[in-house]
Chain A
């Protein structure tokens, strides 16, 4: 009982942060575009004045949230840790709101790697782990590492417990 569990050590690569920030930028651009369209419609169709007011308020509110979003992305990226051995997958997230998860490999049902256009550009892959309880993803590992991790998990997850 007194034994220590070594916390997860592996971090996410720098490129992964870049991908996430680009993702954030794209999201913000889309949000701004939607606002632009709405404002355009407002002008064109002469909507009641309160709609324009509400839109303006929403826009003003969304700006600080955008910045907080970038900040959170950087912090989250810096504090993401994962690790696995032959018995457990460990995930650790967050700086202010910390979350530690401990998942026995025997409960893993499938491992997937995924790649979108952004990830492809930076030669990264997302590893998605499906367990009996839900899905977890490790966003953006270098392709080689991602495949290695997938194969490793797949090999360990072969072990079955009696209850499964």
Chain B
């Protein structure tokens, strides 16, 4: 086991980060600073000092930190005078994310992060060579003895020892047999860029841009050009221009994220790859998936599309500038999503026909007093604001608010559904964006059922599941029949049936 320093380029990244974080404040205090007091004079030195401190601390960190990896664990060392060391066994690792941003790419480097659990800190290498990254990744992957034989496990220790060796060989060979399940085609990308709606971001962005940069021009200078808008072809041209720019922008965003997208899996792991300029890789062992979340915002629902997200114990952002990459390609049709889940996670069975809530629940929910409505009504009654010179009648607003709230409740009721099958719990909720959560009995770490007096009177109860994630994931289904809640409780009490003891 050899102890190594982190890659020296980490200092360069520290400098880049310091500059990136503080460049805007620095420009503000140097160029746009007209204050005549001590703050005006010294602000730039303060900002510079902060930048310098951050860089120096990064350099010192490099000199004081070391790491090592043997066959079973990471060992991380820190400190000059008081030394600390931390050992992280590979079996604790929940998922791995790799991220290569532009600077990484220019230098042929990458970053890797091993997530370990809900509460512990992840093992993170912010800068390292690609070879080192794949060496570490290989080490952690081949150590996991329970990888290949998820179904059948021997329990005696001798068996374990023997199996350890044979399996590590197996997994190496298996690791090569990746099947690619999905890679978006050009057509799919174009479709995605329309449904992503990110092109709608352009007009508000343009407006806020113009409003912010009016320091460079005078509004009165602009005013003389306004009559031009009355000429129809200029307006049309302008409008078309904005639409084209918006569409291109939307496409660019989707391309940036998904043109390189690949979803693959082998016997034991799932691999997701995204990003055009800065690349991200995500890999998770199948039996570490804590649950699946299928969500459908309104537009997705209208088009029959769905987003699928894998729930994992570790957090999924490797650095501040990456989005979550645990979601599978978010523009699958529902059917495609279903097939893919079956392909990559054969252990999961998602059942789309679920139990609906009882009719009485609808009335119970519609009749509940709404605090939002009450607050809106009371404020409107006393405030009576004027909009465009018209006084808004408070009872109008009150009625509209009531309709909206009751509509929301109705939609939520209509979309709600639950299912407690032999090994799975499924819960679907949501008014506008519906979310279907699926988890296995042995992946829930706790459950609870609650009942308020009204629910008791109506024979209803609320059930809640808690899963490992970062932060811990709570999901609840309100107003299921009390009998079902009781059944859910008993069902979880028998979870030992599908739990594998160590």
Interface residues of A (CB under 8 A from B): 1, 3-5, 87-88, 96-104, 106-107, 131-134, 159-163
Contacts and interface: CB of A to CB of B under 8 A. Distances in A.
A42 to B, nearest CB: 28
Contacts of A102: 446-448, 489, 492-493
B487 A99 contact: no
B453 A3 contact: no
B452 interface: yes
Nearest to A98: B451
Given A101-B447, A102-B447, A104-B445, A132 B501 contact: no
Nearest to B119: A132
B472 A133 contact: yes
A19 B501 CA distance: 41
B286 to A, nearest CB: 12
A161 B499 CA distance: 7
Contacts of A163: 287-288, 442-443
Interface in B337-388: none
A133 B493 CA distance: 17
Interface of B is mostly: mixed
A152 B71 CA distance: 35
Nearest to A86: B496
Interface in B444-502: 445-453, 456, 466, 468, 472, 487, 489-496, 499-502
Most chain A beta-carbon neighbours within 10 Å: one of B153, B451, B456, B500: B451
B493 A88 contact: yes
Given A1-B487, A162-B501, A131 B288 contact: no
B489 A161 contact: no
Contacts of B267: none
B406 interface: no
Nearest to A88: B493
Contacts of A132: 118-119, 445-446, 468, 472
Contacts of A5: 489-490, 493
24 contacts: A3-B490, A4-B490, A87-B493, A97-B451, A98-B450, A99-B449, A100-B449, A101-B447, A101-B448, A102-B489, A102-B492, A103-B445, A104-B445, A107-B445, A131-B446, A132-B119, A132-B445, A132-B446, A132-B468, A133-B466, A134-B472, A161-B500, A162-B500, A163-B443
A103 B450 CA distance: 15
A4 B442 CA distance: 20
Contacts of A97: 450-453
Contacts of A161: 442, 499-502
A163 B498 CA distance: 12
A133 B501 CA distance: 20
B479 to A, nearest CB: 15
A104 B495 contact: yes
Given A160-B502, A161-B502, A3 B494 contact: yes
A132 B467 CA distance: 9
B446 A133 contact: yes
Contacts of B153: 162
B443 to A, nearest CB: 7
Contacts of A101: 446-448
A23 B501 CA distance: 43
Contacts of A160: 501-502
A99 B287 CA distance: 31
Interface in B400-453: 442-443, 445-453
A134 B288 CA distance: 20
Contacts of A96: 452-453
B146 interface: yes
Most chain A beta-carbon neighbours within 10 Å: one of B146, B445, B468, B496: B445
A161 B146 CA distance: 12
Contacts of B494: 1, 3
